[in-house]
Amino acid sequence: MSIRENVPERETLIGRRVCLRPFGKDDVKYLQKWSNDAELRKLIGEVEPMSQTQTEKFYRELRADKDRIWFMIVLKRNDRVIGEAGLLRMFRPWRTTDMTIIIGEKDVWGKGYGTEAGRLLLDYAINQLGFHRVSIGVVGINERALRFWESLGFKREGVERDGYYCDNKYSDFIMMSILEDEFRKVNGHVADRDVE
């Protein structure tokens, strides 16, 4: 499969309970809110909160970066924004990309929304955009995240020993990836995914 070069700017991925809609300027407030949560920052490896100015700069950089696609994770039943997801460091000549998912609203943790968002985004990256390999780096102390990525089919492929420092402690940074054949074996084409 060839890599899809010209991706529509306003593509929305629709699942059974969540949709991934493009990140817009009005969504900056969510990123700022979640970056101010010390527990969440620790779990995802962020160092410090982002100010309004920093989140607006992130938005501008994102709009200009052709190697990133960013979405907001939204509950279909009430249009509530619960997280963010994206593809970054997309390197089309090698058919590789990195991926991220953050469920910022803690009251919806453990309800399967992240799993559905992950499958939607993987399906999009592999079956729609044509990537062969999708990778992620996970803070080693975040065992819940490690289990989450493994549940999507990601495999551990390397460890950056003591690659993360937080609260006066070192933690490993775990590198994980999934290949297109591994994803298709488990998921095929995600049945309840649609694109608008």
> How confident is the model over 129-146, as pLDDT tens digits?
999 999 999 999 889 999
Is 1 inside any structural domain?
Answer: no
Is 18 inside any structural domain?
Answer: yes
Return the pLDDT at 118: 96
What are 152's two structure tokens?
């999507």
Is 30 inside any structural domain?
Answer: yes
Q: Work out whether strand 18-22 and strand 13-14 pair parallel, antiparallel, or are unpaired.
A: antiparallel
Is 5 inside any structural domain?
Answer: no
Q: For the chain, how many structural domains are there in total?
A: 1
Return the pLDDT at 12: 94
Return the pLDDT at 176: 97
The values of phi and psi at residue 47, to 5°, are -90, -45
Cα separation, 62 vs 73, whole angstroms: 17
Is 7 inside any structural domain?
Answer: no
Q: Which residues lie closer than 8 Å to 23 by C-beta, 6 or more apart?
A: 59, 62, 70, 71, 72, 84, 86
Is 159 inside any structural domain?
Answer: yes
Range of the domain at 98: 13-188
Residues in the chain with pLDDT values less than 50: 191-196
Residue type, 75: L
125 neighbors 140 (Cβ within 8 angstroms): no
The values of phi and psi at residue 139, to 5°, are -65, 125
CATH code of residue 101: 3.40.630.30
Is 40 inside any structural domain?
Answer: yes
